[in-house]
Amino acid sequence: MATIWVLMDLNAAGQAASVIGCVVGIVGLLFTLLSAPRRADAAPQAVRTGKATTTGGGRADTGVVSRTGGQAEDTGDATSQGGATNAGVTDSF
């Protein structure tokens, strides 16, 4: 950029910096998206969760709610007054 500023003007240097910043940002974003680990076999899990309490028909979940299964270990208490509870693994939404 300093070379562009010396040879041309400050406006051209600013434009060059904008383009370079944009390219670096796009390359960083693409690298992050394309290099992210893909684990199709990773199931949702809940381990050592706290206590969940609901009133008025709410739903208390301290486990896993998933249509594809999951794993729940050492989950906390789930209590609900007039609603549903889950302290394990369920597919009921």
Tens-digit pLDDT profile for residues 42-80: 788 888 888 888 888 788 888 888 888 888 888 888 888
The H-or-E segment that residue 37 falls in is: none
Q: Assess contact for 63 and 84: CB atoms under 8 A.
A: no
Say what the pLDDT of residue 90 is: 83
Q: Assess contact for 71 and 45: CB atoms under 8 A.
A: yes
Q: Which residues contact 65 (CB under 8 A, 6 or more apart)?
A: 86, 90, 91, 92, 93
Q: Which pLDDT tens digit goes with each residue over 25-39? A: 999 999 988 887 766
